[in-house]
Amino acid sequence: MIPYVAVLLVIIGIIASGIRVAQEYQRAVVFRLGRFDGIKGPGIYYLMQRAMAREAEAIREKRARIVKAEAELEASIKLTQGAKQMEESPIALELRRMQMLSEIGIDNNTTTIVLIPSEFTEAARSLAKSAQSKEV
């Protein structure tokens, strides 16, 4: 009995969601199945298009999310490739740092930059490796 009541409430809700009221200064253009059906004046009238518009909106949102996810994947792949390339050539990392500084310097801002030489990072890496080898 309860499922029948739930189905009935859903049907009533769908029908009620299509009812619109236009004030005396408003007009509504009505489309039925994508074709112009007429102009409704002030008063109560029924629309079938709202559900179709919601479905189309959901499809557009789904496509947008898929495109965004694909772009994120492509960006992560390119960043990984760039990081591997810079790992092979320490000079490339230094050149990238200089490029970043010149890009920051273009703007008139008050950004404070503290640079750490790459030798410090290499020294820290070698210390970590020697500590691991002593533990084993």
Alpha-carbon torsion, ordered 113, 118, 122, 124, to 10 deg: -20
The model's confidence at residue 1, banded by pLDDT at 50, 70 and 90, is low
What does the domain layout of the chain look like in residue ranges? 1-48
Give the pLDDT of residue 78: 94
On the question of pLDDT at 49 being above 70, the answer is no
The average pLDDT across 88-110 equals 79
Write the pLDDT tens digit of every residue in 4-31: 888 888 888 877 777 777 777 777 777 7
Rg (C-alpha) for the chain, rounded Å, is 31
Per the prediction, the chain carries an average pLDDT of 80
- Burial letters 77-113, b for 16+ CB under 10 A, else e: eeeeeeeeeeeeeeeeeeeeeeeeeeeeeeeeeeeee
Give the pLDDT of residue 50: 58
Give the pLDDT of residue 70: 95
Which helix (DSSP H) or strand (DSSP E) does residue 90 occupy? Answer: helix 90-106
